[in-house]
Structure 1
């Protein structure tokens, strides 16, 4: 896979040198000599990393950094300058620059920064794709899933759980006891959840909002971190009512 890098600098000699070094290392390189040209390329081309001069003639590369972070937050931007100032560096980092390097930039340092940047983007993209896949699975399963944090406040709930609990109110951030005030079926679950009866399967009966019988299975599993530190719990609900799965 060829990674694409944008080099933005108002000095032609630097653009030429960076282009040569990066191209020889196998990167696909685009260059821009002005803020306007840089913004056009950031808007129209997908990059894996950007080297951006902080001073572009009378204009500031900070503007391009801001646009890049807004449009493509996963793309690392390495700021470069021949006149480093603490305030400028701090501003660049505050706005999300991946790193800040000073000129003259030697070939080894340029390639090192490029490698770190594209690897960082690859990892961020992979993590984002994984999270999207997990979110799709989370919402598509038929079982209801509720995820609680270490204080037993609801972090996540899928559509199936909302349907089983027959609750239209937003429940995020609430404890099981607080949820019970909005969702009658949840009152039956409070003791089980608060005691954290891990791994056991229960069958509970209640009624839905229309007064119809509601039967559901319940199981619970802990969320633990390093050293078995408790991070919360996952509650899985399965609608076992006679009407579950029937098509009207």
Structure 2
């Protein structure tokens, strides 16, 4: 048992242990009495040898030693203490504070030195400071040890960066999950290595979450995206937490990457849903979108929805609102591209009477009307730089001022924005504010275009046939196989909206109960004819170059032999067998 284990019989607190080293008994007695007045237990040593023996046997919270003694120097005691694993503060006492030994004591790490004669107030003040330093140091060491144990033992990858995204530390799990093979913590990195320069074996999809957390000073979470760190079939979730100094400054961030491949595969095995909250599709892209909406619906985070025109971004926004805790509150939509800057400002923020010609009364804006609910800002990429500044203020402060007014109005609104633009490129080219961009894309959802999920087209066709029958009072039973093939080959630049319009055209042109190719808009016949002519020419060219060898021709066309035979029959092509 060490001296440190002695307990105060009155309070049950650990008593600070002090070693006092001086060759003069009277000085030792006096200093002991002063220090014991702080509630400490003082052990006395008459020379350096005795002090070193006590240091080998026990653990102390403070050492007070004279420098100049007949049998050795207090510098030897200082060196002994500083050479130990858990050094305590050392206060030096000297009769000549300007001599070289006093300077050397400070250079070697002495906490402080006191000149003789030693006054009570002086030794008590220095000892109290030294013991407080010891207490704080020990707490910090314990805290650091606990963090190190957690850092090392968790199964998630942890990477810590400063505000400039320079790597401060990472744990062993980062090597396996993020593919940092061959690196043993910071020892394997050059000083000041940026997060972007880490030898990661992935496409750094977590970069967006990290940048967003740094710029917004808010935690960011994303789930289930494909990560190539340790393998092609690895799916991870990412959580980024800013390390805050103040509300206006971020010291850095900690990024945690969790391998959720097993959970992803389990969910993937579940029967896919054909629809969700008005959206139609059973493709992998739609299943992922459904899952993300479910996870985001219950949190107030701002969401940026990206996708081409006609993909259904408004449906995604409505689903986020309808499936969350704000579903009983207003869901208000505004198309930012459809209004002039002045009108958009008045619509969003409201105005006071007399703010402009025609402002006959105070009017609440859409932010106020959506209080407690959701405001959907469609075509957010089209707003002017001036409007970007005003919108940023509302997002930051959660308050607005009506046009022509001066009184701030607090609002509690969840913002969902949508765009078909590449806002990251607009930021780089100076057309969109970076700070607003990061405020909007706390979480980003991508809506895949129809051409990238062709397996959803039959479901969408069935859905629109049912809707159009009700709308137009028809009884169309469906779409013929040939018409469906034409629809499947089309690139759909207008996406789902264009599909609906094409089917409505077909409903109008169809005199029977089955939609045939002739009932579709002319662009489909033209596209089919062009596609067929082009494919026929490619097959003939491939056969000619390979002297009629169908196997080699199929490989040249990047199709299998059976598909080549089917195409040749379809286009009336015959070729001699080599």
TM-score normalised by the chain length of structure 1: 0.85
1:155 aligns with 2:153: no
TM-score normalised by the chain length of structure 2: 0.39
Q: What does residue 489 of structure 2 align with?
A: none
2: CA distance, partners of 1:25 / 1:148: 43
How does 1:130-209 map onto structure 2 within 5 Å?
Answer: 130-170=143-183, 172=186, 173-179=192-198, 182-185=199-202, 187-194=204-211, 196=213, 199-209=220-230
3-state secondary structure, aligned to 1:185: coil
Q: How many positions carry a matched residue from both structures?
A: 242
Q: Specify which structure has the bigger relative contact order, considering alpha-carbon pairs within 8 angstroms and separated by 6 or more residues.
A: 1
Deviation at 1:66, TM superposition (A): 1.2
Q: Which 10-residue stretch deviates more, 6-15 or 200-209? A: 200-209
Tell me if the contact between 2:241 and 2:254 (Cα under 8 Å) persists in the aligned partners: yes
3-state secondary structure, aligned to 2:261: coil
2:28 to 4, 11, 15: 15
2: CA distance, partners of 1:26 / 1:202: 55
Rg larger in structure: 2
2: CA distance, partners of 1:56 / 1:21: 21
Q: Which 10-residue stretch deviates more, 69-78 or 95-104? A: 69-78
2: CA distance, partners of 1:199 / 1:214: 20
Tell me if the contact between 2:45 and 2:51 (Cα under 8 Å) persists in the aligned partners: yes
3-state secondary structure, aligned to 2:83: helix
1:36 to 24, 49, 54: 49
3-state secondary structure, aligned to 2:202: helix
Tell me if the contact between 2:213 and 2:220 (Cα under 8 Å) persists in the aligned partners: no
Deviations 1:125-181, CA, capped at 9 Å, x for gaps: 1111111112222223333221111221211112333221132232634323221xx
Q: What does residue 216 of structure 1 align with?
A: 236
2: CA distance, partners of 1:54 / 1:186: 61
Tell me if the contact between 1:5 and 1:48 (Cα under 8 Å) persists in the aligned partners: yes
2: CA distance, partners of 1:58 / 1:37: 10
Tell me if the contact between 1:148 and 1:156 (Cα under 8 Å) persists in the aligned partners: yes
Deviation at 1:61, TM superposition (A): 1.0
Q: CA separation of 1:17/1:47 partners in 2, compared to 1, >3 Å: closer, same or farther?
A: same
Q: CA separation of 1:194/1:39 partners in 2, compared to 1, >3 Å: closer, same or farther?
A: same
Structure 2 unaligned spans of 5+: 1-13, 187-191, 267-578
1:239 aligns with 2:256: no
How does 1:43-54 map onto structure 2 within 5 Å?
Answer: 43-54=56-67
Structure 1 unaligned spans of 5+: none
Tell me if the contact between 1:196 and 1:220 (Cα under 8 Å) persists in the aligned partners: yes
2:126 to 105, 113, 122: 113
Structure with higher helix content: 2
Instruction: Give the aligned CA root-mean-square deviation in angstroms.
Output: 2.6
Q: CA separation of 1:226/1:162 partners in 2, compared to 1, >3 Å: closer, same or farther?
A: same
Tell me if the contact between 2:221 and 2:237 (Cα under 8 Å) persists in the aligned partners: no
Deviation at 1:213, TM superposition (A): 0.9
Deviation at 1:34, TM superposition (A): 1.4
Q: What does residue 96 of structure 1 align with?
A: 109
Deviation at 1:44, TM superposition (A): 1.5
Q: CA separation of 1:110/1:85 partners in 2, compared to 1, >3 Å: closer, same or farther?
A: same
Q: Which 10-residue stretch deviates more, 221-230 or 42-51? A: 221-230
1:128 aligns with 2:141: yes
Deviation at 1:234, TM superposition (A): 1.6
Q: What does residue 228 of structure 1 align with?
A: 248
2: CA distance, partners of 1:72 / 1:151: 34
2: CA distance, partners of 1:90 / 1:26: 31
Q: Which 10-residue stretch deviates more, 4-13 or 110-119? A: 110-119
Structure with higher strand content: 1
3-state secondary structure, aligned to 1:71: coil
